[in-house]
Amino acid sequence: MTSFLLYLYTESPLHAGAADAEGSLNLPIQRESTTGYPVVWGQSLKGALRAAGHNAGWGQDSLDRVFGKAVQRDGEPGVNPTAGLLTVGDAQLVAVPVPTLRRTFAWATSSVALSRLSRKYARSGLPGEIPNVPTVPHDRGVALDEVWTTSEQVVGPCLVPMSRPRTAGELEEWAERIASDGIGDGSALSHFADKFRSDLLLVGTSVMDQLLRECTEHAVRVQLDPETKTVKHGPFTSEYLPTESLLATVLTLRAPQGKDSERNTENDAEHRRLLRKLFDGAVLQVGGDETLGKGLVWSRLAGEVPGE
């Protein structure tokens, strides 16, 4: 069994739609019922990853083995006693970009988000010591760069008292690890990785709750009648997780079972190779509004895959 820690970094606003409308929002994003944190449920993400494999030219046999057979193919229901070898977890929030009066924007994270990420590193079995998770009072924030700690800071709709963390090394380790593993230092993203190292803000629970409700993007749209060019449907409002958001999930690839152990070992190695090639540094399509350019995400696999 091989586990991968997969980061998703949004290139364009991401809409993974929830089932029901919420207040004035006709099409809200998926959120956890307990925390209100934005999330991409595993069942939604798995379909997007399967589509990425198909678009990358995977053979039908590899798609069926790794992701399970499609519900319907060639006009007949797919029949498969398993769900495929790949288990896809929920993509949970790591950090969200928020508008500020300094440096245009910063990333906000919380002890909850970092604690969950810490558990993902532990589950993935990646080498290296996992940093401790720093804490902060519920109505305050901490940051590494002194430009954020000289006074209260306007962070989204909040006025947040900011200071240096008592254990600055812990936050610095997380900023470095997330920037390196989740964003990367390639030419297209190196500026944002460097900015993340200096502009990561750890905020308390009360601040984070408000930011996650008020710093998503809302788009009001209508559908026109093709003949009269008048409004046929709408207006309706869609919610998006903003560009530069960062999420993470754990993918688990189970070893193939069967009597032919040598062939199964070869298949397992091939599946790992395909997944690494597909997800490490690629741009994937996740969520709705694809024809509007939404839902593009940069994907990165953290660290080395055990067993390779």
CB 140 within 8 A of CB 204: yes
- Backbone φ/ψ region at 234: left (φ over 0), alpha (ψ -120 to 50), beta: left
pLDDT at 280: 84
Assign 68 to helix, strand or coil.
coil
CB 90 within 8 A of CB 33: no
pLDDT at 78: 53
Q: Does residue 50 fall inside a structural domain?
A: yes
Q: Tell me the helix, strand and coil percentages in the chain, rounded to 5.
A: 30, 30, 40
- C-alpha gyration radius of the chain: 21
Condensed to tens digits (0 to 9), the pLDDT of residues 100-124 reads 999 999 999 999 999 999 999 999 9
pLDDT at 81: 53
Region 276-301: mean pLDDT is 91
Structure tokens belonging to residue 92 = 């949970």
Q: Is the pLDDT of residue 271 over 90?
A: no
Q: Is the pLDDT of residue 260 over 60?
A: no
CB 286 within 8 A of CB 8: yes
Sole residue written with tokens 């008292």: 161
Global confidence as pTM: 0.90
Q: Does residue 234 fall inside a structural domain?
A: no
Q: How many domains does the chain have?
A: 1
Structure tokens belonging to residue 134 = 């720093």
Distance CA 213, CA 231 (A): 29
Condensed to tens digits (0 to 9), the pLDDT of residues 212-254 reads 999 999 998 888 878 888 888 778 899 999 999 999 999 998 8
What confidence category does residue 71 fall into, taking pLDDT thresholds of 50, 70 and 90? low
Q: Does residue 223 fall inside a structural domain?
A: no
- Start-to-end CA span in the chain (Å): 12
pLDDT at 84: 85
Torsion of CA 116, 118, 124, 130, to 10 degrees: 180
pLDDT at 1: 76
What confidence category does residue 72 fall into, taking pLDDT thresholds of 50, 70 and 90? low
Q: Does residue 100 fall inside a structural domain?
A: yes
Sole residue written with tokens 């509004």: 289
Region 88-99: mean pLDDT is 97
Sole residue written with tokens 């895959």: 305
Distance CA 48, CA 52 (A): 6
Sole residue written with tokens 């993918």: 251
Domain of 132, in residue numbers: 2-16+30-215+241-301
Return the top range by mean pLDDT from 91-95, 235-239, 280-284.
91-95
Q: Does residue 257 fall inside a structural domain?
A: yes
What confidence category does residue 18 fall into, taking pLDDT thresholds of 50, 70 and 90? confident
Strand partners, 154: 159
Condensed to tens digits (0 to 9), the pLDDT of residues 143-185 reads 999 999 988 999 999 999 999 998 889 999 999 999 999 999 8
Q: Is the pLDDT of residue 29 over 50?
A: yes
Q: Does residue 21 fall inside a structural domain?
A: no
Strand partners, 108: 96, 201
Q: Does residue 229 fall inside a structural domain?
A: no
Q: Does residue 231 fall inside a structural domain?
A: no
CA distances from 299 to 34, 93, 133 (A): 27, 14, 24
Region 279-303: mean pLDDT is 91
